[in-house]
């Protein structure tokens, strides 16, 4: 709030950051007569600050963090119990307030506070038109029938993990942040038995005789809990259930499906160490670990005991049982499955889970908005050839407009996604518009970075972990360095805006080119303009990286892998065939380049485009009488056309009838 210390009056809409170092209390939310939505916020710096100690903070901003990060760490009470019996009406008539005042006669504060006591405040008379929008992070279908379409239904989460995988800790953190109802079959069994319900009585019979409770009984118990009002309102977190294929089938038959199925993956040796190393203090009931969390003193150490189920044999048996159950049920949830590396710090694991859950909320909002506009989400895809809207015009106008850049970003993205859906794993994008042509003075590295960001974020939105790679310095001595085209790229990537939900560091990571950059958790790799430099060849590093990546997709964006001069002339001929073969192993999923007159970049003659899985298309630029222009399709080729093919297309005759290109049309020979 330091940035607002000089704000005196009105709704605050100015610039501020999201680096939190101070707590405030949101005591009201208002839409004033001018239609401005704002939070009424009380600070702790006294009446000389802001408007008598308060500030009106703009509400319903597009950022999920809220204005100045007000929604980032919101704390609020949740009411679960029944409503109290209404008290008799007060004979006191509330006073109208013409300015913000701490008078208790004004409207009461709202339940969004990190303070045990929230004072009452008032707003301008006649301005109390609440539009509940909430600082809470829970996904909700609706607060009231009259509120605008908010977008998000209650979250439904399943989580699974082997013994000692840290599942319990992550469940606690999820519940604390999202307010979900935590449902564990062990807790349910104990509660049902204790309450003496019909299900509890059945379970008690089996448990009393030492038998496992049948799947159907457990499923009935879970379904009964899922039908309760608090679960319907707040959403649910199913912990360690279903555990068998029949349980999963029972839920599916009832159309009970999660939004996400989280599996914590931890190596067996780590899990066994965590369990076998645990020790119980019989006096306090506290759990220690001989290595990770040793006792405070020798006295406690002397009385520690090993729990009966923490022996190596029993832990190994529990792990084997867990694996058998997982192998049986995971295929049923493959569409919702997200496997997360659980052998990391607790906070890092939760950051990744948190990003996944936030994206589910955002995607639900987007889908509902699309449906409200009369379209289903599936109809938005612009991938098919029939829906493509044609090449944009005025491509020699620099800088390119936002609309032109967005057109190419979307065109590239849809083609790349279709190729990956068809199980293509070695892909190449070649896009050569003026701002992405390093041979032109108008080349902009920022446009290339923006393309990479849009591509990576889209795959991250689908739950993929993307490694964005830019080659580092190569060579030694006079030949040390990186290509000029890539200078500063790594810094730009580090400081770029990667979205509001914390994608960078969780779903998107920045790396270099090489086998050592391939991590187990990476799902795909985007290499930015990999290229040979004078005296150095990047292909060996690329080959090592793709070998390490295995069947995971590797996407090259505007590669330049032609031979360059070496320290003693041209690159060695030794291995050249292998280099060319490797470069050719990448399949082009998108290609676009403008065609010009010989020796110039003006005027534009036409364009060559290919968007997977369509053919290569040649377009002629046509000037229209009204001063506008258009691109007319004149030829299609299954394979990439040669310069002779393109020349023949422009001349309107078959290649077989054409002599070697020369003169006016020779310009095409040097660019393809």
Does pLDDT of 544 surpass 90? yes
Among 27-31, 255-259, 524-528, 633-637, whose mean pLDDT is lowest? Answer: 27-31
Q: Does the residue 215 lie in any domain? A: yes
pLDDT tens-place string over residues 377-419:
333 343 444 445 578 877 877 777 888 888 899 999 999 999 9
Burial (0-12, 13-18, 19+ Cβ within 10 Å), 596: middle
**Domain count of the fold of the chain:** 3
What is d(CA 350, CA 352) in angstroms, rounded to the nearest whole number? Answer: 5
Q: Do residues 431 and 590 make contact, with C-beta atoms less than 8 angstroms apart?
A: yes
Same domain, 295 and 344: yes
**pTM metric for this prediction:** 0.48
The 3-state DSSP class for residue 262 equals strand
For residues 428-453, give the mean pLDDT. Answer: 81
HEC states along 377-409? HHHHCCCCHHHCCCCCCCCCCCCCCHHHHHHHH
Distance of alpha carbon 490 from the chain centroid: 21
Tell me the catalytic residues: 167, 243, 278, 307, 318
What is d(CA 440, CA 181) in angstroms, rounded to the nearest whole number? Answer: 58
- Band of residue 127 on the pLDDT scale cut at 50, 70, 90: very low
What is d(CA 198, CA 202) in angstroms, rounded to the nearest whole number? Answer: 6
Same domain, 209 and 317: yes
The 3-state DSSP class for residue 535 equals coil
From 345, 363, 381, the end of a domain falls on: 363
Tokens of residue 113, six digits: 């506070």
Give residues with Cβ within 8 angstroms of 633, minimum separation 6: 617, 618, 619
Same domain, 329 and 421: no
Residue 420, pLDDT score: 93
Residue 187, pLDDT score: 82
Residue 368, pLDDT score: 45
For residues 175-192, give the mean pLDDT. Answer: 87
Distance of alpha carbon 487 from the chain centroid: 28
Supply the DSSP symbol for 586.
Answer: S
Same domain, 196 and 246: yes
In degrees, rounded to 5, the angle at the alpha carbon of residue 395 between the alpha carbons of residues 390 and 397 is 145
What is d(CA 457, CA 625) in angstroms, rounded to the nearest whole number? Answer: 42
* Residue span of the structural domain in which 239 resides: 156-363
For residues 452-458, give the mean pLDDT. Answer: 91
Which has more confidence, 599 or 144? 599
Q: What is the CATH number of the domain that holds 274?
A: 3.40.50.300
Residue 62, pLDDT score: 59
Burial (0-12, 13-18, 19+ Cβ within 10 Å), 308: exposed
Same domain, 53 and 190: no
Same domain, 357 and 406: no
Q: What is the CATH number of the domain that holds 412?
A: 3.40.50
From 19, 37, 58, the end of a domain falls on: 58
The region, left, alpha or beta by phi > 0 then psi within -120 to 50, assigned to residue 213 is beta
Residue 658, pLDDT score: 46
Same domain, 468 and 616: yes
From 58, 78, 93, the end of a domain falls on: 58
Among 50-54, 93-97, 305-309, 544-548, whose mean pLDDT is lowest? Answer: 93-97
Q: Does the residue 350 lie in any domain? A: yes
For residues 109-131, give the mean pLDDT. Answer: 34
Same domain, 407 and 549: yes
Q: Do residues 503 and 358 make contact, with C-beta atoms less than 8 angstroms apart?
A: no
Burial (0-12, 13-18, 19+ Cβ within 10 Å), 183: buried
Q: Does the residue 395 lie in any domain? A: no
Same domain, 164 and 296: yes
Q: Peptide bond preceding 538: is omega within 30 degrees of 0, i.e. cis? A: no
Residue 238, pLDDT score: 93
Q: Do residues 296 and 212 make contact, with C-beta atoms less than 8 angstroms apart?
A: no
Residue 10, pLDDT score: 77
DSSP string, 33-73: TT--EEEEEE-SS-TTSTBTTEEEEE-S-SSTT-GGGTTTT
Give residues with Cβ within 8 angstroms of 406, minimum separation 6: none
Among 147-151, 204-208, 218-222, 628-632, whose mean pLDDT is lowest? Answer: 147-151
Same domain, 280 and 164: yes
Q: Which residue has the tokens 């349910």?
A: 188
What is d(CA 524, CA 468) in angstroms, rounded to the nearest whole number? Answer: 9
Does pLDDT of 70 surpass 80? yes
Residue 307, pLDDT score: 81
What is d(CA 412, CA 592) in angstroms, rounded to the nearest whole number? Answer: 9
What is d(CA 285, CA 288) in angstroms, rounded to the nearest whole number? Answer: 10
Residue 264, pLDDT score: 92
Q: Does the residue 369 lie in any domain? A: no
Q: Which residue has the tokens 């990770």?
A: 292
According to DSSP, the residues that pair with 278 across neighbouring strands are 289
For residues 445-473, give the mean pLDDT. Answer: 87
Does pLDDT of 16 surpass 80? no
Tokens of residue 375, six digits: 């379209």
Q: What is the CATH number of the domain that holds 7?
A: 2.40.50.170
Among 4-18, 332-346, 519-533, 545-559, whose mean pLDDT is lowest? Answer: 4-18
Q: Does the residue 266 lie in any domain? A: yes
The span from the first CA to the last CA of the chain, in angstroms, equals 57
Supply the DSSP symbol for 68.
Answer: G
Same domain, 413 and 358: no
Does pLDDT of 501 surpass 90? no
Q: Do residues 27 and 109 make contact, with C-beta atoms less than 8 angstroms apart?
A: yes
What is d(CA 318, CA 164) in angstroms, rounded to the nearest whole number? Answer: 11
Q: Does the residue 396 lie in any domain? A: no
Task: Kindly report the average pLDDT of the chain as a whole number.
Answer: 75
Residue 653, pLDDT score: 61
Q: Does the residue 142 lie in any domain? A: no
Same domain, 355 and 420: no
pLDDT tens-place string over residues 221-249:
888 888 888 998 899 999 988 888 888 88
Q: Which residue has the tokens 């590669």?
A: 559
Residue 135, pLDDT score: 33
Q: Does the residue 375 lie in any domain? A: no
């Amino acid at each position: 709030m330091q940035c607002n210390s000089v704000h005196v009056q009105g709704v605050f809409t100015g610039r501020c950051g999201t680096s939190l170092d101070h707590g405030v209390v949101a005591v009201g939310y208002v839409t004033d007569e001018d239609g401005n939505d704002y939070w009424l916020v009380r600070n702790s710096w006294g009446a000389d600050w802001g408007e008598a100690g308060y500030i009106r903070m703009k509400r319903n901003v597009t950022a999920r963090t809220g204005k100045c990060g007000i929604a980032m760490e919101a704390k609020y009470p949740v009411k679960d119990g029944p409503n109290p019996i209404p008290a008799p009406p007060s004979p006191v008539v509330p006073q109208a307030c013409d300015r913000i005042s701490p008078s208790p006669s004004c409207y009461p504060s709202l339940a969004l506070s990190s303070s045990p006591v929230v004072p009452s405040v008032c707003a301008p008379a006649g301005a109390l038109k609440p539009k509940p929008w909430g600082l809470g992070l829970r996904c909700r279908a609706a607060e009231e029938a009259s509120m605008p379409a908010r977008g998000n239904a209650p979250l439904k989460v399943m989580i699974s993990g082997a013994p000692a995988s840290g599942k319990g800790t992550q469940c606690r953190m999820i519940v604390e942040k999202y307010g979900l109802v935590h449902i564990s079959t062990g807790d349910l069994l104990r509660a049902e038995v204790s309450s003496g319900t019909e299900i509890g009585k059945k379970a008690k019979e089996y448990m009393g005789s030492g038998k496992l409770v049948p799947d159907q009984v457990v499923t009935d118990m879970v379904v009964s809990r899922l039908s309760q009002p608090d679960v319907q309102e707040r959403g649910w977190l199913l912990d360690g259930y279903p555990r068998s294929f029949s349980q999963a089938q029972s839920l599916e038959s009832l159309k009970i499906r999660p939004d996400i199925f989280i599996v914590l993956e931890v190596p067996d040796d780590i899990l066994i160490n965590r369990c076998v190393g645990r020790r119980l203090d019989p006096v306090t009931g506290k759990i220690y670990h001989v290595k990770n969390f040793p006792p405070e003193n020798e006295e406690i150490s002397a009385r520690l005991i090993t729990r009966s189920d923490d022996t190596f044999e029993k832990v190994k048996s529990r792990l084997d049982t867990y694996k058998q159950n997982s192998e049986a049920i995971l295929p049923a949830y493959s569409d919702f499955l997200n496997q997360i590396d659980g052998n990391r710090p607790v906070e890092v694991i939760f950051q990744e889970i948190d990003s996944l859950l936030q994206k589910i909320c955002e995607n639900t909002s987007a889908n509902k908005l699309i449906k409200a506009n009369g379209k289903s989400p599936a109809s938005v895809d612009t991938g098919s050839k029939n829906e493509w809207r044609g090449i944009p015009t005025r491509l020699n106008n620099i800088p390119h407009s936002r609309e032109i850049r967005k057109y190419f970003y979307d065109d590239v993205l849809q083609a790349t996604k279709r190729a990956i859906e068809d199980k293509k794993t070695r892909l190449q994008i070649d896009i050569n518009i003026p701002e992405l042509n390093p041979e032109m003075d108008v080349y902009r590295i920022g446009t290339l970075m923006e393309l990479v960001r849009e591509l990576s974020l889209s795959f991250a939105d689908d739950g993929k972990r993307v490694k964005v790679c830019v080659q580092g310095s190569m060579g030694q001595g006079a030949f040390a360095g990186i290509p000029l085209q890539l200078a500063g790229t790594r810094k730009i990537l580090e400081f770029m805006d990667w979205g509001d939900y914390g994608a960078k560091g969780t779903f998107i990571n920045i790396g270099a080119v090489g086998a050592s950059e391939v991590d187990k958790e990476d799902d795909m790799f985007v290499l930015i303009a990999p290229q040979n430099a004078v005296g150095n060849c990047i292909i060996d590093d690329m080959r090592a990286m793709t070998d390490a990546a295995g069947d995971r997709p590797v996407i090259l964006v505007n590669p330049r892998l032609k031979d360059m001069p070496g320290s003693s002339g041209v690159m060695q001929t030794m291995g050249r065939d292998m280099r060319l073969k490797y470069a050719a192993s990448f399949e082009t999923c998108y290609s676009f380049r403008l065609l010009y007159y010989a020796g110039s970049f003006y005027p534009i003659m036409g364009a060559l485009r290919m968007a997977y899985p369509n053919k290569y298309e040649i377009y002629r630029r046509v000037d229209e009488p009204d001063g506008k222009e258009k691109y007319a399709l004149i030829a299609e080729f299954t394979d990439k056309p040669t310069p002779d093919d393109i020349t023949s297309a422009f001349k309107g005759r078959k290649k077989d009838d054409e002599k070697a290109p020369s003169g006016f049309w020779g310009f095409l020979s040097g660019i393809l």
